[in-house]
Amino acid sequence: MNKKSMMNISQQLINHGVHPYGSAEVLKFEKQLARYFGREYERWQGNKNLTESYGLNSFEGDISKSETRPESLSHYNEEYHVYRAFLDKDYLAYTMGCFGVDSYGPELKDISLEQAQMKKYELLVERADIQDGQSIIDLGCGFGGLSKYLLETYPNIKVTGINPSEVQTGYIRKELMSPDNNFDHLRFRLIQAYFDDVDSLGIELESFDRVISIGFLEHVSNIDLLQKKLSRLLKPGGLCMHHCIVSVDVLPAFLNSEDTLMGAYYPGAHIWPLSEPPRHNTHLTFKNSWFVNGMNYWKTLDEWHKRFWESIDQIYPEYLTTDEVDNWNKYFSLCKAMFIPNDGKSYGNGHFLYQK
C-alpha cells in the first residue's frame, strides 16, 4: 500500500478517536498511566508481606484457573495476521526481548527486535545450562520461538512444545514442522493441550533434562502443583527455568489481574512478586533467581507498538475492527506504562532456576 492510502487509514482511525503510535495524544495517555503506576510502586516500596495476606495462595487450587482458561486463551487465539504484523520476524516471540538494559552484560545499543529475542534465548541457554543432545520441554511455547532457536542451534537437541492455543499450534504445524526447515523436524514434538492436563497427555516420566517456560508462570495460580508435576517429568539432576513478569515488591492490587486494567486482556493471570517463586522449594529445589530490568520489556513493547502502526494497512479493516485497533493500541500503551517507572527497576522480568 502506498503512503497516501496508509495516511487515509490512519486518518480514518483518528476520526474515530484512535490515535497512532507516537502521536501527542498517545504520548500524553502513556505519561498519565506511567505516573499512576509510578505512584503505586512508590506506595508499596519495600512491601514484603506474603501473598496469602492479600487472599492469594500459590500453594492451592488448579494449576491455572479453570474458570478463566478459555477466556484467557482467546488472547492467544487472536488472528495470526495481527501477531505477524508486530512481532519479530524470526521467532514471533510474544515476550520480552533482551536489549541489554542493566543487570546482565554490556548494554546492547541499537540492536533489532529480532536480535533482542535471540539474546533472550542465549541468556536462558546460559543460565539454564542447556547443552546439545538434551531433551527439553518448551512449556507454553507460543509460536514456537524458543523451540525453533534450540532446534536450529543444536543439531541433536530434542524439543517438546506444549501449548493449548489453536492459532499458535496451527502456525507451528505449518511452519515449524514443515520439511523445508533446516533442522530435522522429527526432533520436535508438539502437544496441543493445557499443561494442567499433563497426567493424561502420555508424556514420559523422568525423561527431560530441562523445562523452560517463558511468559507462562503469569497464567499459573498454583505454583506448588505445577512444580510437583514438572518434577515427575524431569530426570534426576534436571533443571527447570521459569521466565515471567514480576514486580520487585508485593503489589496487592496486581496479584490478580481481575483487580487491574490488565484483566481485560489476561483474565485469571497474576503478576507475582520476585519473592514468590523461590518459596516453592519442595518438589524442585530452588537454585537461583535474577531480575531483568523492565526497560527491556518497555523497548520490546515500544517496538511492537511501532510495528503495529507501520503495518496497520495489513490488519485494518480486514482483520481488526476500529474498536479492536483501539484495544490493541491501549494495550501497548498500558503495558509500556507499567514497565517504565523508576527506570524499570520496580517491574520487570524474573528468571527462576530449580533443580530436581
Interface residues with ligand SAM (CB under 6 A) are 64, 73, 76, 93-95, 140-142, 145, 162-165, 168, 194-196, 214-216, 219
CB of 44 to ligand SAM, least distance (A): 24
Q: Closest distance between ligand SAM and the C-beta of residue 12, in Å?
A: 31
What's the min distance (Å) between Cβ of 356 and ligand SAM? 20
Of the two residues 18 and 211, which places its CB atom closer to ligand SAM in the complex?
A: 211
Tell me which residue has its CB nearest to ligand SAM. Answer: 142
Of 196 and 302, the one with the shorter C-beta distance to ligand SAM is 196
Task: Note the residue count of the chain.
Answer: 356
Residue closer to ligand SAM (CB basis): 26 or 245? 245
**Of 97 and 344, which has the nearer Cβ to ligand SAM?**
97
Q: How many CB atoms lie within 10 A of CB 130?
A: 22
To the nearest whole angstrom, how small is the minimum distance from the Cβ of residue 266 to ligand SAM?
9
Q: In angstroms, what is the minimal distance from the CB of 220 to ligand SAM?
A: 7
Find where cell 536462558 sits.
Answer: 124
| CA–CA gap between residue 114 and residue 186 (Å, rounded) | 26
251 in Cβ contact with 44 (< 8 Å): yes
What are residue 212's DSSP bridge partners? 138, 241
Identity of the residue, 171 or 309, whose beta carbon is nearer to ligand SAM in the bound complex: 171
The count of C-alpha atoms lying within 13 angstroms of the C-alpha of 152, restricted to the half-sphere facing its C-beta, is: 16
Q: Where are the alpha helices (DSSP H) in 136-213?
A: 145-153, 166-171
Which is closer to ligand SAM, CB of 29 or CB of 80? 80
Element (H, E) at 115: helix 113-127
- Distance, CA of 231 to CA of 137 (rounded, Å): 12
Query: What's the closest the beta carbon of residue 57 comes to ligand SAM, in angstroms?
Result: 18
Nearer of residues 26 and 162 to ligand SAM, judged by Cβ: 162
Give the list of residues 6+ apart from residue 245 with CB closer than 8 angstroms, or none. 96, 215, 218, 271, 297, 347, 348, 349, 350
Tell me which residue has cell 533434562. 209
Q: Where are the alpha helices (DSSP H) in 65-108?
A: 69-76, 80-86
Q: Who's near 264: CB < 8 A, 6+ residues apart?
A: 327
CB of 37 or CB of 91, closer to ligand SAM? 91
The CA angle 136-68-253, to the nearest 5 degrees, is: 95
In whole angstroms, the minimum distance from the beta carbon of 194 to ligand SAM comes to 4
Q: In whole angstroms, how close is the CB of 213 to ligand SAM at the nearest point? A: 7
Reference 142, options 165, 121, 125; nearest CA is: 165
Could you give the 3-state DSSP secondary structure of residue 92? coil
